[in-house]
């Protein structure tokens, strides 16, 4: 389990990069993303769905 926290940018990018590498090695990946508006559609969620990865937005 890894948790990326902090102010500023780079948390989602870091998490997605590591997730992509894990997917390439056939690891099971699930991402929990804390966002301001779960009703919005984000590109990373759409891309992960195409790869078969669950992204739970909270």
**How many angstroms separate the CA atoms of 47 and 54, rounded?**
10
pLDDT value of position 8: 79
Q: How many CB atoms lie within 10 A of CB 52?
A: 8
Q: Tell whether the model's pLDDT for residue 7 goes beyond 80.
A: yes
**47 by DSSP, 3-state: which?**
helix
What would the mean pLDDT of 3-19 be, rounded to a whole number? 87
- Residue 9: which pLDDT band, with cuts at 50, 70 and 90? confident
Instruction: Give yes or no for a contact between 38 and 16, defined as CB atoms under 8 angstroms apart.
Output: no
Q: Token pair for residue 47?
A: 């891309």
pLDDT digits (tens, 9 = 90+) for 28-52: 999 888 876 767 778 888 898 898 8
């Amino acid at each position: 389990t890894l948790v990326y926290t902090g102010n500023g940018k780079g948390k989602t990018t870091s998490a997605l990069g590591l997730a992509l590498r894990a997917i390439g090695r056939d690891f099971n990946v699930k991402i929990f993303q804390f966002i301001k508006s779960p009703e919005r559609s984000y590109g990373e969620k759409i891309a992960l769905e195409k790869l078969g990865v669950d992204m739970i937005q909270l």
